[in-house]
Chain A
């Protein structure tokens, strides 16, 4: 998400930075481009106008235009306004109340409420050690209740037994008493998708809210939502007083402007981002970091956090210890690194966090740096014998042919991999030398091996 917007804004700002002096007309021209970039990113028109006005007021002041680096100043103003628009700092993910904490999920059809309910349950169970009950009030979409029941099983949450034909309000009563009697910490109520203009169903959701008295009302919205985000946010906020927003499918290539619109209209924070279809794909939302990502400044903090969460610590320590004691880098180590990267969301997942990557995305695509390449390289290494992996010198012409055949690749690809391996090995050696002379060692020990550079030269 946001990559397209990042690329566009990056281009505008690059031109701005190149100029020594800026006139009001320069700023106005740049902001017109920003306006179109935001609109193409589906930020709602009133929000865009408001944003541009604020930036313009601040940017055309004497102090900015007369400063030594006016371009940089303007970018900083845009960044600060974006952070403000996105909601400043991270907010608490869970209200503190007497159990059970009740969370009500609302939104349009197909926005991802049921999947998000399952993801939230998993997160609360695993990260906060809570006991979670899932209950579906969706009596309209065929098999919606079954879907939530299956997800509950997958993530180890409790599930309210389905009674066919029972009405939402009666299901709530049952869910509340079950949550209390069975000692659940959190009760997540999934609801049917509804259109903001469907009066009958909007009254129903108001009644559901009155009956359930939820502590948190999460509006679930698709990152692909267009200008209608404003109407949706307004309608739901008016009827059920939304307390937070979940933006789903942020792993798509939608520019996600709806996030900005909904946040602005409701005044409530974006709390979670839904990433992918697996139950683990839910991230807390960090407004300041995202603003950096939108402006192409990267989000290295989140990347390191992701690394910490997903990297196998034992393996990482083993590897670090091995290098510190002067061990050689083998193909097995390289395989380990590839797997770490895959676990962290693949190359494309990681790239999104890095500064400036949006601008070179096209080149990367042309250079074929993609997930397929990692998978093929993995297959090549897996087609080698253990002896070969430990001592690649063994691999000569005949063996290369066998490996290529075994992995469904070409000999040229095997050669490429071996060359890449040699580069990495040489680099590791250099690092080990530096470590001995004392300059680099402490850093190397701390870096997770999946993050070591060099694996993706051509």
Chain B
């Protein structure tokens, strides 16, 4: 924890993480294209490489087809291939790079974090709280995961680290009731932001998804525009199921943005490329570690270039 300073670009760290995993990827491409014509076999291999980065067979096929246009049969160099692919991925991701804008006229601005189990909601919430608290905002946390054992205790620790009060209810109590009281409380305290954690839920569990809709409904009894940002937390380790998650959570609570976690691992989270194209949802932040300042804005150029192993 100590060696992490402000001068270390988080992208450098992300790149270190990615480069460990993409070294195989970039090596493959290097071998593939150093002295070679761009023929079908080469394109198939390129497609395989993208698939292995979790871009999914459909997105990979599309990228490769676009790439092959105008280039097929020509001599290509390694760096040309990488640059071009990085450029394409960057272009796809560009519309998704929109940070979360806090509307200060909302008192408090209510953020609801949703996602499947183990995606990293509580950790992300702790990091977000710290970020806003650092900017001098008054932040209240609501421990809406009333189901998992010790989830409340976990959020309390994050609250202490960030210096924010944590609004809790006993384990097993109604999450919607807690959210309602937390909003009342945050309003009375004059808080700038209320961050609501929720229990992890698999998107095909109708009952649990209904509960999420209920949380939203009761919040709207106090503030018709709440929650002002509903963010879906996605684990970069996950594969193509992210499509199903985005679809189901969007239908239930109108997701406003994505947060991609665990990008410091060997997983590339390539599924976001397809997601960005299909759903046009902003990626408001990415998680790159377990410490309190490991939540960063999403930069598509850096991400795409890190993914492809292109410097700079």
Contact = CB atoms under 8 A, between A and B. Distances in A.
Given A141-B154, A195-B264, A195-B265, A226 B237 contact: yes
A36 B57 contact: yes
Contacts of B265: 108, 195-198, 228
A215 B266 CA distance: 28
Interface string B280-310: 0000000000100000000000000000000
A253 B158 contact: no
A249 B239 CA distance: 14
B116 A252 contact: yes
Interface in B37-58: 48, 51-54, 56-58
A371 B266 contact: no
B17 interface: yes
Contact of A222 (B20, B151, B238, B271): B238
A147 B116 contact: no
A112 B148 CA distance: 11
B117 A195 contact: no
A426 to B, nearest CB: 31
B118 A222 contact: yes
B266 A232 contact: yes
Interface string B204-244: 11110000000000000000000000000001011111101
B119 interface: yes
Contacts of B262: 108-110, 195
Interface in B238-269: 238-242, 244, 262, 264-268
B108 interface: no
Contacts of B240: 40-42, 226, 255
A226 B271 contact: yes
A65 B121 CA distance: 53
B153 interface: yes
B157 interface: yes
Nearest to B20: A197
B144 interface: no
Given A143-B150, A147-B149, A253-B241, A110 B57 contact: no
A344 to B, nearest CB: 16
Contacts of B52: 44-45, 227
B168 interface: no
Contacts of B202: 249, 251-253
Contact of A227 (B205, B235, B239): B239
B237 A222 contact: yes
A75 interface: no
Interface in B125-170: 147-151, 153-154, 156-158
A182 B72 CA distance: 71
Contact of B117 (A40, A143, A198, A249): A249
B56 A224 contact: no
A374 B99 CA distance: 43
A143 B266 contact: no
Interface in A134-150: 140-144, 146-147, 149-150
Given A42-B240, A197-B17, A231-B266, A253 B154 contact: no
Given A45-B52, A226-B238, A112 B118 contact: yes
B145 to A, nearest CB: 11
Contacts of A225: 237-239
Nearest to B239: A226
B30 interface: no
A277 B271 CA distance: 26
Which of A109, A147, A196 has the most chain B CB atoms closer than 10 A to its own CB?
Answer: A109
Given A140-B290, A147-B149, A253-B202, A228 B116 contact: no
A372 B206 contact: yes
A201 B265 CA distance: 12
Interface in A224-260: 224-228, 231-232, 235, 249, 251-255, 257-258
A67 interface: no
A111 interface: yes
A370 interface: yes
B107 interface: no
Interface string A188-208: 000000011110000000000
B54 to A, nearest CB: 4
A205 to B, nearest CB: 15
A227 B57 CA distance: 12
Contacts of A36: 57
B174 to A, nearest CB: 17
B203 interface: yes
B268 A228 contact: yes
Interface in A142-160: 142-144, 146-147, 149-151, 154
Given A40-B57, A231-B266, A255 B48 contact: no
B125 to A, nearest CB: 12
Contacts of A150: 149-150
Contacts of B149: 146-147, 150-151, 154
A249 B21 CA distance: 25
Contacts of B268: 227-228
Nearest to B157: A142
Contacts of B244: 253-254
A39 interface: yes
Contacts of A149: 150
B54 A255 contact: no
Nearest to B208: A277
A371 B207 CA distance: 9
Contact of B206 (A142, A255, A371): A371
Contact of A197 (B48, B207, B239, B266): B266
A235 B266 CA distance: 10
Contacts of A228: 21, 54, 237, 239, 265-268
Contacts of B20: 197
Nearest to A112: B118
Contacts of B53: 227
Given A44-B52, A108-B262, 11 more contacts: A40-B58, A45-B48, A45-B51, A143-B157, A147-B149, A224-B238, A225-B239, A227-B54, A251-B204, A252-B116, A254-B238
6 smallest CB-CB distances across A and B, nearest first, come from A226-B239, A110-B118, A142-B157, A42-B239, A147-B150, A143-B153
Interface of B: 17, 20-21, 48, 51-54, 56-58, 116-120, 147-151, 153-154, 156-158, 202-207, 235, 237-242, 244, 262, 264-268, 271, 290
Interface of A: 36, 39-42, 44-45, 108-112, 115, 140-144, 146-147, 149-151, 154, 195-198, 222, 224-228, 231-232, 235, 249, 251-255, 257-258, 277, 370-372
12 contacts: A36-B57, A39-B56, A45-B48, A109-B120, A142-B154, A142-B158, A222-B237, A224-B235, A224-B239, A226-B237, A226-B271, A252-B116
